[in-house]
Amino acid sequence: MIRETPPVEPEASRPHMPGYGLLAADEGQGLLPWSWAEQRLTASRRYWLATVWPDGRPHVAPVWGVWFEGRFFFSTGGRSRKTINLRADAACVVTTEDAIGPVIIDGTASAVTDPDRLQTVIEAYSAKYADSPPDPVENPIFEVTPIRAIGLAEDEAHFTASATRWTFPT
Residue 75 bridge partners (DSSP): 141
Residue 169 falls within a domain, yes or no? Answer: no
Strands 47-52 and 58-63: antiparallel
Residue 98, domain extent = 22-160
The answer to whether position 168 is within a domain reads no
CATH number for the domain spanning 69: value is 2.30.110.10
In a domain, 8, yes or no: no
DSSP conformation letters of 122-170: HHHHHHHHSSPPSPTTTSPEEEEEEEEEEE---STTTHHHH-EEEE---
d(C-alpha 91, C-alpha 50), whole Å: 9
User: Is the residue at 48 inside a domain?
Assistant: yes
Number of domains in the chain: 1
pLDDT per residue of the chain (170 residues) written in tens, 0 to 9? 444 455 678 999 999 888 888 888 777 777 899 999 999 999 999 999 999 999 999 999 999 999 999 999 999 999 999 999 999 999 999 999 998 899 999 999 999 999 999 999 999 999 999 887 777 778 899 999 999 999 998 766 678 888 999 999 98
